[in-house]
Structure 1
Amino acid sequence: MIIGYARVSTLDQNEQLQTDALTKAGCGRLFVDHASGAKAHRPELDHLLDVIREGDTLIVWKLDRLGRSVQNLVDLMNLLQSRGVGFKSLTENMDTTTPGGVLIFNVFAAMAQFERDLIRERTSAGLQAARARGRKGGRPSKLSEKQRARIRELYRSRALTVQSIANQYQVARNTIYGIIRSTEGTDGIGALQTVEAGDR
């Protein structure tokens, strides 16, 4: 079976251009999503991937209608290939059922890997430069060292539960546990959780 997939970004956009081209290309069944390409969840694409079978061919009007990024596109095409499903893009004249189409796909895959390697290198270089300046990576703490010390005091006093301390400082319980763990270890946390359970 030849299956077509179309996507438009909002409900206001008309998918007629894509569906007309897909129908002309011989698609016997069409799936259309009205969603941004940045959205991970596209229900019609998910449905399509559930029903498509070995020997079928998926056709799109343009590559960017299928993938949110080069890497996402490569991942989807790898999935299709593993299932024995052909893929065609009308605008780019790409067809993985032909040797030339397979070559183009391999170029895309290589580009995606190259992009990942560059991002990894830039991230690593940035972290190393930050460490050289005495800075640590990660999200800055919402709490000052003075506040963290006060949290430890409240914890040791057993005057308040972890939830009460978290509410007071407007942070999550996990944040409080992280502060406690850094000085008390996991045994202290276990003891406090036991006390809290007894209070209930």
Structure 2
Amino acid sequence: MVQETIKKVVGYARISSDSQIGNTSIAEQVRKIEAYCISQGWELAKMFIDEGESGSTKERGGYRDMMQYIEQTENEISGIVVLKADRIHRRLKNLLELIEDELEPKGIAFISVSENFDTSTPQGMLFLQMIGSFAEFERKIINERTKSGRIATARENKYAGGGVPYGYQVVNGTILLDEQQAQTVKSIFQLYVEGNNPYKIACKLNRAGITTKTGKQWTVVQVQNILNNETYTGFNMYNGLKERNGIRQKDVFPRIISRQLWNKARQVS
């Protein structure tokens, strides 16, 4: 059971991105947490912060540091304070696991300032489960709307999001050529139809000091991925990771190679 008397706490603040609707700035979260601790007569030992991090994963620097800090019994932490419960975990399941499996056994309470509850009381645990269920329902509705929006955008023959292949860049929501990379794509196809296999092509690129999109050396698989990507002809398939809807698009991605060169490469294959 969580100890009844809270004396020394840590605070946690997170923001996903500067543009996310509904985000409260880090500074505002910290200010409200500090004010709440003062009003309760608690010592705020330390603030832990994650900026530009998703609440759907535990792989966050500030989160990891906080968990290590509260593990140390000499720090005598009796509570974690957040502005809202979803700042520490987006999913109710993950939040409950944190509280029940990691905090309660150590006698550490979880306190949400704006939702006005703490898990040192049975009422706090009940309220946590209630608001968590509503929050998860709301997120599923938002995800469904977002997915529908992506599909509608793709069907309008517009860029619907996601990563872009080597040779392209996204500028203000529009796909543009990366001229230098586009020239490399043309060279890969030309070398291939001239009789160079992917291994030889990768070696040529690496000797020339030409790197991949991530700045690494070329491999056979990466060259093959270029050669198998019809997007370079101006035709692409929007096939979202979640939707798997297979919408064929034209000229969303500017053409880099001709259909004739693409067909020649297919004949070599």
Task: Answer yes or no: same fold by TM over 0.5.
Answer: yes
Paired letter, 1:171: K
Q: 2:122 aligns with which of 90, 99, 109?
A: 99
Q: Where does residue 46 of structure 1 map in the other structure?
A: 67
**Cα contact 2:111–2:119 (8 A) shared by 1:** yes
Distance 1:73 1:57, change over 3 A: farther
Paired letter, 2:101: S
Distance 1:139 1:83, change over 3 A: closer
Q: Where does residue 150 of structure 1 map in the other structure?
A: 187
**Cα contact 1:59–1:87 (8 A) shared by 2:** yes
CA distance in 2, matches of 1:44, 1:164: 45
Distance 1:179 1:41, change over 3 A: same
**Cα contact 2:10–2:48 (8 A) shared by 1:** no
Identify the range of structure 1 (1-10 vs 123-132) with the bigger mean alpha-carbon deviation: 1-10
CA deviation profile, 1:77-120 (whole Å, cap 9, x unmatched): 53122236143346754122333212220133123312321232
CA distance in 1, matches of 2:34, 2:110: 21
1:180 aligns with 2:227: yes
Question: What's the TM-score once normalised by structure 1's chain length?
Answer: 0.58
CA distance in 2, matches of 1:36, 1:117: 24
Q: Where does residue 23 of structure 2 map in the other structure?
A: none
**Cα contact 1:7–1:35 (8 A) shared by 2:** yes
Q: Where does residue 194 of structure 1 map in the other structure?
A: none
Matched residue of 1:83: which SS? helix
Instruction: Give the aligned length.
Output: 175
Distance 1:119 1:34, change over 3 A: same
Paired letter, 1:48: Y
Name the structure where helix makes up a greater proportion of residues. Answer: 1
Distance 1:115 1:165, change over 3 A: farther
Q: Where does residue 90 of structure 2 map in the other structure?
A: 71
CA RMSD of aligned residues (A): 4.4
Note the residue ranges of structure 2 that are not aligned, 5 or more in a row: 14-25, 54-59, 168-176, 231-264
Matched residue of 1:157: which SS? coil
Matched residue of 1:115: which SS? helix
Q: Where does residue 260 of structure 2 map in the other structure?
A: none
**Cα contact 1:4–1:31 (8 A) shared by 2:** yes
Q: 1:126 aligns with which of 140, 149, 169?
A: 149
Paired letter, 2:205: I
CA distance in 1, matches of 2:223, 2:52: 34
Matches within 5 A, 1:162-173: 162=202, 164-165=204-205, 167-168=209-210, 171-172=213-214, 173=218
Question: What's the TM-score once normalised by structure 2's chain length?
Answer: 0.46
Deviation at 1:142, TM superposition (A): 4.8
Note the residue ranges of structure 1 that are not aligned, 5 or more in a row: 189-200
Q: 1:139 aligns with which of 163, 166, 183?
A: 163
Matched residue of 2:135: which SS? helix
CA deviation profile, 1:54-99 (whole Å, cap 9, x unmatched): xx85242x534x7636617873453122236143346754122333
CA distance in 2, matches of 1:112, 1:164: 53
Paired letter, 2:11: A
